[in-house]
Structure 1
Amino acid sequence: MKVKGEARERIIQTAAYLFQLQGYHATGLNQIIKESGSPRGSVYYHFPNGKEELAIEAVKYTGEYIEKQIKESMAKSLDPVKAIQHFISVTANQFNDPEHIEGIPVGLLASETALISEPLRCTCVEVFKNWADIFADKLMQYGYEKEEAEELGMTINSMIEGGIMFSLAHKDKEPLLRISNQIPYILRKKG
């Protein structure tokens, strides 16, 4: 039974990587099968509804991966500014080796498929919300009211996602670092 789980995981990881590298529409099931080293039947066995189902699982996989990174960063400091800046720094440092960036396909898949796949769009929304909620939880621990923390969590997550897109376009981590520099101003307590 463990082998089946490993094969499924390998297919999902390969799909996530290929969706990130070349997009949803440019990635075919045949390429995923070949790159994952899986027999053709195993892809259809694990994902009987095809590419859309596989993309949903790839988004969930990536969502969990990034969620773990965000939680680890939030645990690095009691100060939410430092914790959020740590996460942005970890993300930005991936741009030192752009060929091996992990965890980017959620934003790319959302922009590419939002108008053509409602299930995939909803999965992306759920993943984005989970990430924003982690930031909001950190802010509430620091004393922000729930509503303000949720708004700031969504804003911070949106800034990071936008910074990732800018960094990808520029092939440079500088846009993310600039966002990191703005975190103290965004989280300035109203007095």
Structure 2
Amino acid sequence: MGRNSDSRQRMVEAARQLIRERGYHGTALSDVVSRSAAPRGSVYYHFPEGKGQMAAEAAARHAQDQVEVINRAGDSASSAEDLVGTYFDLAREGMVGSNYQRGCAIAPLVIEASEESEGLHDASRRSFSAMVDGMAFQLIVHGVGNADARELAHAVMAGVEGAMVTSRALRSPQPFDAMRVALTDRARSLTAGARTPS
């Protein structure tokens, strides 16, 4: 049972990395098996619904990973501005460190697979919602009002996703740097009043 579970988790992680690098249509089940070193016949044992099921679980894994990143950034941040800046810095480092090869594991499901499966649409919606919720929570912890925190969380997620695409195209971190400046300024403005002595 433990071995089967380990094999399944390796396949989900391999699918996540491959989708980040190649997109949904560019990821073949044979590549997932090869990268995960899973038994060749195990794909449909673990994922009876096929590639779509595996991709949905990879998106959920990616969202869980990002929420953990957000929470760690929140734990170490001194302010909402610091939280937003740290999250952009980590995304930037990941992109540059992958030599502009690794994007998001969720976005390809929206762009490439929306016509293929309602399940993939639901998986991408749930995954992005979890990330927005996680960022909004941490912004509230750091002094941003509830409505403003949700608005800024959406902007941060959209900013990081857009920066991933343009950064890969330009092979430059400049899109991350530009969005960082704009959204840390916004975070600062939303908490300035709360820090001002009365």
In the superposition, the TM-score normalised over structure 2's length comes to: 0.87
The answer (yes or no) to whether the contact 2:101–2:168 under 8 Å persists in 1 is: no
- Please list, as runs of the form range in 1=range in 2, the aligned pairs for 1:19-168 lying within 5 A after superposition: 19-99=19-99, 104-168=104-168
- Superposed CA offset, 1:14-52 (max 9, x none): 111111221211222122222322222211111011000
Write the distance in 2 (CA, Å) between the matches of 1:23 and 1:151: 28
Three-state SS of the structure 2 residue aligned to 1:74 is helix
Structure-2 separation of matches of 1:170 and 1:100: 9
Give the deviation of 1:103 after TM superposition: 6.3
Q: Is this contact kept in 1: 2:100–2:167, CA < 8 A? A: no
3-state DSSP class of the match of 1:12?
helix
Contact 2:95 / 2:103 at 8 angstroms: preserved in 1? no
Please, which moves more after superposition, 16-25 or 29-38?
Answer: 29-38
Residues 104-156 of structure 1: per-residue CA shift (max 9 Å, x gap): 22123322222332111111111111111122112222333322221221122
CA deviations on 1:157-184 (whole Å, 9 max, x unpaired) are 1111111111121122221111111123
Note if contact 2:167-2:175 (Cα within 8 Å) is conserved in structure 1.
yes
Please say if residues 10 and 36 of structure 1, whose CA atoms lie closer than 8 Å, have aligned partners that are also in contact.
Answer: yes
What does residue 179 of structure 2 align with? 179
TM-score by length of 1: 0.90
Structure 1 distance, partners of 2:164, 2:154, is 15
CA RMSD between the two structures: 1.9
How many residues matched? Answer: 191
Deviation for aligned residue 1:82: 0.5
Q: Which has the higher contact order (CA 8 A, sep 6+)?
A: 2
Does the C-alpha gap of structure 1 residues 101 and 137 become closer, same or farther in structure 2, counting only changes over 3 Å? Answer: farther
Which consecutive aligned stretches of 4+ in structure 1 deviate over 4 angstroms post-superposition?
99-103
On the 8 A contact 1:132/1:154 being kept in 2, the answer is yes
**Counterpart contact for 1:63–1:103, Cα < 8 Å:** no
Q: Which runs of 5+ in 1 are unaligned?
A: none
Q: Sequence identity of aligned pairs in percent?
A: 25
CA distance in 2, matches of 1:107, 1:168: 14
Counterpart CA distance in 1 for 2:142 and 2:21 is 38
Shift of 1:100: 8.2
Unmatched 5+ stretches in structure 2: 194-198
